[in-house]
Amino acid sequence: MKVSPTVDVVTEINNDRILVVENSEIYSKLIKNSLANIFAGEIDTANSFDRVKELVELYGDRYFLSLLNMSVEGAPSGEAVEYVCSRKIPSLVFTSNTDAEFIKKIRSYGVIDYIFKENVANLKVMTGLVKRLSRNRYSTALIVDDNQINRLQINALLSKYLFNTIIAENGQEALEILNDNPNVDLLITDYMMPVMDGFELIKKVREHQDSKELAIIGISANSEGTLASNFMRFGADDFVTKPFGQEEFCTRVSICMDKRDLLQDLSKSATTDFLTGLSNRRYFLDKAVSTHASFKRQQLDLSCVMLDIDHFKNVNDTYGHDAGDQVLVEVSRVLKERIRDTDLLARFGGEEFCLLAVNAERGEAHQFFEEIRKLVSSISFEINGKTFSVTISMGVCDQSLDTLDQMILAADRALYQAKNAGRNRIEFAR
C-alpha cells in the first residue's frame, strides 16, 4: 500500500511469479533451483524473445520480478529487456560485460539493478537481491526532507526497489505519521529541517523503537566531520552524504534492512518455539510476570492453565516422531486460533503448554477451557493410512495468588489430578 500524508493509494500485492530469461539451459536451471529455495511462487523460464512475449502476455501483471539476459534468441541486443521493462515489470539484468558504456545502456532501460554473470558463486548475490526485493514489497519507508526535489529523488529510488513510501517535510510531521503508521520499517531523514531537525526526530523515535523494529538512515549535504558520528550516536543505523549515487544509496538501504531482518530473526528465535511458532517458556515467563502484577493491582480476573497432551509418548512410539511433531503443530494451531489477543500462550516443553487467560470471568473462563478441550479432541490425524486423535488434560488455577509462580504450581498440581482422574478432563486448583 502506497501512502502519503495527502493521498491514499491501495495496491493489493498479488504478484506471485518470477520470469527468468536466459539462453543457457544449464544456467537457467541453476537460477531456477536457487530461486526455488527463497521464493514460494511460480518461476517461468524463457530462452527466446518469442517465449518471453508469450509468457508476458499470459502472466504480465503477475510478475513481481524478471531476471533477464541481455542477449537471447531473437533479441541479441537487449530487445527482450526493453520489452519487459516497457510492460512495467521490475527487472534485474544478467551481464558478463563490465564496460561502463554497456552498464549505462542497461541502466537506460529502467532496470532495478544488474548482476555480473561470472560464475556460480554469483547466484548467491542474485538470490540475496531477489529475497531483499521480495521483502521490500511488504516494507514501508518514511522519507523526511524539507526539500521537495530530494524527497522526489529518494522516493523514486525506493519505489524502484519496490518499497512502499510515505513522505514528510519535517520531524514533527514524521512523528505524527509514525504514530498513525506503526508498521513503518525504514526511516530516512535529513538533518537540517524546520520545526524539528533530524537529530531530534531520531532521539524521539528511538525512545520507542529500536533497530530491530525500525531501520534509520541519516542524510545531509553538510560535510561537517562529526555529522555522521552524531547521527549514529542519536540512533541512526547509517549515514549518507548528499548528493549520492543510486548504487551507494540502495546498497546502504539494503544493508540496513538486512540488519533489521537479522535482528528480528534473532529476537524471534530467542523468544519463539521453533516447531510450533508459539512463545517459548522464557518469553512467556518474562511477559506473564508483569501481566500478573498488573492484573493483581487492578484486581482483575486471571487464570493460569497447564495443558498436557495425553499419552503423547504412545504417539511417538506408535507412529514415529514426525507424527508427534505433526500433533504438536496442529494442537498449537488450534490453541492459537482459539485464544484471544489478550491471552498469553507458550509451549513449556515437550507436550506441555501454559496459558494465561486474562480478564475472563470465572464462569466464562470455565466454558472457554472446555471448548478448547473439545476442539483438540475433534482433530483427526492420518499417518501411513492409520487415523487417530488425541486428547488433552488441563489444570486450572483461577485464583489470584500472590505470585505467578504460585499460580503455575497450583495449575500444575491440578493437571496432575486430571491425569490421575483419567485424563481428557479439566481440574481446578482448590
What is the amino acid identity at position 66? S
Domains, the chain, with CATH or none: 15-121 (3.40.50.2300), 139-271 (3.40.50.2300), 279-428 (3.30.70.270)
pLDDT, tens digit (0-9, with 9 covering 90-100), for 223-272: 777 888 999 999 999 999 999 988 899 999 999 999 999 999 898 888 99
- Reply yes or no on whether 248 is catalytic: no
Q: In this structure, are residues 44 and 20 in contact, taking their beta carbons and an 8 Å threshold? A: yes
pTM, two decimals, is: 0.76
CB 146 within 8 A of CB 219: no
Least confident of 1-15, 36-50, 348-362: 1-15
Grade residue 277 by pLDDT with cuts at 50, 70 and 90: very high
Kindly report the length of the chain.
430
Helix (H) or strand (E) holding 239: strand 238-241
From the list 22, 169, 173, 351, the catalytic residue is: 351
C-alpha cell at 177: 505519521
Q: Tell me, what's the pLDDT at 3? A: 38
Cα→Cα distances 339→79, 95, 214, Å:
56, 53, 29
pLDDT higher than 80, residue 204: yes
Digit-coded pLDDT (tens) for 84-122: 999 999 999 988 888 888 888 888 999 999 988 777 778
Burial class (CB in 10 A: 0-12, 13-18, 19+), 19: buried
- For residue range 146-179, list pLDDT tens digits in order: 999 999 999 999 999 999 999 999 999 999 999 9
Percent of the chain exceeding pLDDT 90 equals 72
Residues 183 and 176: their CA atoms lie apart, in Å, by 13
**E strands along 316-391, which residues?**
344-349, 352-358, 381-383, 386-388
